[in-house]
Copies of this chain bind each other. A is one copy, B any other.
């Protein structure tokens, strides 16, 4: 029997479609895979093999855990590389099946693919030969459907064969940072880290911008950034922090003079977006990301978002706009930011007793020059 080498076979999805840019995407993907493995101190070799990426390592389980946080990978399978003969394949398939608890009252199927046509058996013949052996040795049943409890994959190549068991889902998306940079307005709450993560998933280099109101919240924000970093292979998150109080003071004073403090939150958010735009120009970012979900709280209305967006030149992205709170919470759990997020945030000192929920755009146009005294609404 051949000597078995520990291996994880990783698959990429959309990258395969990227045409002329494919080499760039693949190079970044491999680089990010290596970074994820290094961070978890998994010693491994990462190489492209046909339309897959192979990770050779002494610790496939640890590698698998690390690779689950690499955007661009759609699925991974721990695999064993053996000499391409039926006996070796059967033996290794059985070892894996026994380790996974295959036995009576559980079902198994084999899915073989031959990329080397010189192998003496066809794919259906391999399925049968390996499947019958597993049934005979473990007492399991055969189930050819997707409902099988355990699926063994076999790939036949000229100089080796691969045997792999269950496939785990990858994180999907595209390799960071190939889609470019965005500024994410990030509090210590539940939503904005999820919004940041969704942009990272699509390959963005995320720059978190936080407006500090209290030490406790800023510390929480830092912890959330650390957690997001575990997903951001290929890009180091460098948070930018500004004072919430400073950003607001002049605005809140002028609104108070006009007895229009119901507008505080709207002009505050506008000031934050304007600052995000300045930071974006400094750091070469092409968009601003907000954690808004339409109608989730009384202030996240179309009317209010229109006021907040008005006059911003960079595009504003709201990846959570069409999502429910329960969906956002489920994602936050997957990402690992749920427990870190503040549930009840301390009340903002500028919070009016009745914040506007459906701001009138005409009223806003009338107020704006009085309040944002240093900023024409639509400057050229």
- Which one of B287, B305, B327 lies within 8 Å of A287 (CB-CB)? B305
Q: Which residues of A contact B (CB under 8 A)?
A: 13-14, 18-19, 21, 74, 172-174, 178-182, 195, 198-199, 201-204, 286-287, 293-296, 298, 301-303, 305-306, 308-310, 313-319, 321-327, 376-380
A-B contact pairs, 7 of them (CB 8 A): A19-B298, A179-B295, A180-B302, A305-B315, A308-B315, A313-B378, A318-B318
The reply to whether B173 and A21 contact each other, CB–CB distance below 8 Å, is no
Complex Cα distance, B379 from A380, in Å, reads 8
- Contact check, B180 vs A298: say whether CB atoms are below 8 A apart: no
Q: Which of B18, B182, B198, B376 contacts A302 (CB 8 A)?
A: B182
Contact of A317 among B173, B308, B318 (CB under 8 A): B318
Contacts of A380 in B (CB 8 A): 376-378
Question: CB-CB < 8 A to A310: which residues of B?
Answer: 313
Whether the Cβ atoms of A295 and B174 lie closer than 8 Å is: yes
Query: Would B319 and A321 count as touching, CB distance under 8 A?
Result: yes
Taking a contact as CB atoms under 8 Å apart, the answer to whether A315 and B322 are in contact is: no
User: Smallest distance from the beta carbon of A22 to chain B beta carbons, Å?
Assistant: 11
Nearest-neighbour CB distance to chain B for A307, whole angstroms, equals 9
CA distance A323 to B310 in the complex (A): 26
B296 touches A306 (CB 8 A): no
Residues of B within 8 A of A199 (CB): 294, 321-322
Check B286 against A326 for contact (C-beta < 8 Å). Answer: no
Among A13, A173, A302, A380, which residue has the most Cβ atoms of chain B within 10 A?
A302
Cα–Cα distance between A204 and B376 once the two chains are bound (Å): 31
Count the copies. 2
Residue of B nearest to A13 (CB): B326
Compute how far the CA of A295 lies from the CA of B200 in the bound complex, rounded to whole angstroms: 12
Given contacts A286-B302, A317-B321, 10 further A-B contacts (CB under 8 A): A14-B295, A180-B301, A180-B302, A181-B302, A201-B322, A202-B295, A286-B303, A294-B317, A319-B322, A378-B378
Q: Are B13 and A202 in contact (CB under 8 A)?
A: no
Known: A315-B306, A316-B315, A380-B377. A202 touches B322 (CB 8 A): yes
**A19–B299 alpha-carbon span in the complex (Å):** 13
Give which listed residue, B19, B21, B296, B322, contacts A14 with CB less than 8 A: B296
Complex contact B298–A21 (CB within 8 A)? yes
Q: Which of B18, B178, B180, B319 contacts A303 (CB 8 A)?
A: B180
| Cβ contacts under 8 Å, A204 to chain B | 294, 302
Q: Contacts of A378 on B, CB cut-off 8 Å?
A: 313, 378-380
Residue of B nearest to A203 (CB): B295
A354 to chain B, nearest CB (A): 10
B202 touches A301 (CB 8 A): no
Q: Which of A74, A172, A295 has the most CB of B within 10 A?
A: A295
* 6 closest residue pairs by CB, A with B: A198-B322, A319-B322, A286-B302, A202-B294, A309-B315, A180-B302
- A174 CB to closest chain B CB (Å) equals 5
Chain B residues, Cβ within 8 Å of A296 = 14
CB distance from A320 to the nearest CB of B (A): 8
* In the complex with contacts A319-B321, A321-B317, A325-B14, A306-B286 CB distance below 8 A: yes
Select A202's contact among B21, B173, B321, beta carbons within 8 Å: B321
Q: How far is the CA of A201 from the CA of B296 in the complex (A)?
A: 12
**Which residue on chain B has the smallest CB distance to residue A195?**
B322
Question: Would you call B173 and A324 a contact (CB within 8 A)?
Answer: yes
Nearest-CB residue, chain B, relative to A286: B302
In the bound assembly, the distance between CA atoms of A323 and B71 in angstroms comes to: 12
Q: How far is the CA of A14 from the CA of B329 in the complex (A)?
A: 13
